[in-house]
Structure 1
């Protein structure tokens, strides 16, 4: 258990450069909020870190990048864990909560391509690396000629595979490249009309034990209710249509006084899709997301998931 007399909180993180940078930003914010208190990094290796070659669809585990961190929290080996929210399963591990959600970066996807190519200008049959069913389906919808081999590894490794000619292009989240200061490798931002992001993409989540009220109080100032409700709506779309295995994109944001959710469910070959939009009370994102999901099911989304 944590010896809080030392004034230190143990902050769990994956060991990738991006994960450590994100965790460092959270630690810096917490130490500014709590002068004299230390938030100490603890590196934890997850299943997704250990297996960097198997395509994500083949692994199939929704907790691929969170399992070991949640285990360390439950065992009392760390006090809080910093995750990319898009990696966090819908069903919380017993005894754990997301005590803060926020620090959202640009949620869009981007193209990193040789010769500055954009999606329309990529050569016929170009090899575009992606590890995501969602991205694959949306790419096939607009460029069915593309070849879409699986892509794994950290961001630096993925970007190098474009430079060395392994791929003509790859699709990544803008948030990770921005946080790493790698804006210059981006050939094109894929606007929401072109590619809807993964639910929660770009946001960070800070997880802790449900019975650790001290840690909950420490991290509470980092909770952004606007981001929490928007991402709750996005994640509820996934919940409503039945889980993470489907090619689903969703994004929610405040427009005027309302929370607006845009979602799309795709056939895996990209040839058909159900697109839905809904707006409602910004204080209950989950309810709105579930309503949007139900609308998608009513419009035939279930037939795309079989």
Structure 2
């Protein structure tokens, strides 16, 4: 692994952990004696906009745009992302080169005032920047107040400790990776809170024409995770999902089959539609697409249009 192999990443502690994890996996597969790749921190629009909801500025691509541009210019050889931040359509010339084994897909509940979401007192304030989480909270507890809660994991923990909200929700995988598992008050089951598409997975993006880097990344790809993420992202793409649409989806792979569950909600959580499909894992993309078509049919043509 050449020392000149620069890895692009955002600068948050979680993003740096993920980039270092990819670097460690590369060294484990190709040998530390061949050199250590360097990390190149790139500030993204999503990182710089902290005072307003992301939906007002274009959604998911705000966390990848500047990194994509650096990759296309050749400033970096590969980019490491939380898969749930990746738009379903990558810029021309880039490809998803590897998806690492998935971590815990569930959401963690954090609160100094209650042991669980169900136990929060009436009128309590829940902070989250995720429309998906906010809509599901409102669906489960319409009496609660949901407020926008931006920032990295550490920033949100400080806001919670400072009383900005009575509770928040964070990805369990992120807490685990940062050594902050004890910060979780409890963990929500996927039946209670369906996760974001590709939550818990780390993706590596590279240039389509960079055969050397693609070959280096190939051993990092986890087949089961890749299949599950492909299904979930096909569902999201069919619905043209972005940060403006509260959409959840989870594919589980086992014994050659894949089980997919999807959910779309109004931001207020009062209206929602779900879908479940099972089929052969080699038809993962088709299953995700069919699930998207099915849920669109149930919701009707105006449901998604009203969310855009």
**TM-score, with length taken from structure 2:** 0.94
Q: How does 1:177-192 map to 2 (within 5 A)?
A: 177-192=175-190
For 1:136, the equivalent position in structure 2 comes to 134
Q: Deviations over 1:17-38 (max 9, x none)?
A: 1100111111011012112132
Q: Which moved more, 1:109-118 or 1:165-174?
A: 109-118
Partner of 1:295: 294
Task: Tell me what 2:12 maps to.
Answer: 16
Structure 1: stretches of 5+ with no match in the other structure: none
Deviation at 1:118, TM superposition (A): 0.7
Distance in structure 1 (CA, Å) of the matches to 2:138 and 2:27: 45
The answer (yes or no) to whether the contact 1:265–1:301 under 8 Å persists in 2 is: no
Give the superposed CA RMSD. Answer: 1.4
Q: Offset at 1:61?
A: 3.3
Alignment of 1:224-239 (within 5 A): 224-239=222-237
Structure 2 distance, partners of 1:7, 1:176, is 28
Cα gap change, 1:62 to 1:301, in 2 (>3 Å): farther
SS of alignment partner, residue 249 of structure 1: strand
| Structure 1 residues 301 and 105: alpha-carbon distance in aligned structure 2, compared to 1, 3 A threshold | farther
Provide Cα deviations, 1:30-74, integer angstroms capped at 9, x if missing partner: 012112132111111111111222212222233111111101000
Of the three residues 193, 196, 202, the one matched with 2:194 is: 196
Is the 2:113–2:120 contact (alpha carbons within 8 Å) kept by the matching residues of 1?
no
Structure 1 distance, partners of 2:5, 2:268, is 47
Contact kept? 2:95, 2:206, Cα under 8 Å? yes
Q: Distance in 2 between matches of 1:88 and 1:76?
A: 20
Q: Secondary structure at the match of 2:275?
A: strand
Query: How do residues 1-306 of structure 1 correspond to structure 2 at under 5 angstroms?
Result: 7-35=3-31, 36-244=34-242, 245-300=244-299, 302-305=301-304, 306=306
Partner Cα separation in structure 1 for residue 187 and residue 302 of structure 2: 31
Instruction: Report the Cα offset of residue 7 of structure 1.
Output: 4.3
Structure 1 window deviating more from structure 2 (239-248 vs 150-159): it is 239-248
1:298 is displaced (CA, Å) by 2.1
1:257 shift after superposition: 2.7
Q: SS where residue 90 of structure 1 aligns? A: coil
2:220 & 2:25 partners in 1: Cα distance? Answer: 8
| SS of residue matched to 1:218 | helix
Consecutive unaligned residues in structure 2, runs of 5 or more: none
Provide the rounded CA distance (Å) in 2 between the counterparts of 1:254 and 1:23. Answer: 26
- Structure 2 Cα separation of the partners of residues 269 and 149 of structure 1: 12
Report if the CA contact (8 A) 1:259-1:282 is conserved.
yes
Q: Determine helix, strand or coil for the equivalent of 2:98.
A: strand
Tell me the number of residue pairs that the alignment of Structure 1 and Structure 2 aligns.
302
SS at match of 1:114: coil
CA gap 1:223/1:140 in 2 versus in 1, 3 angstroms: same
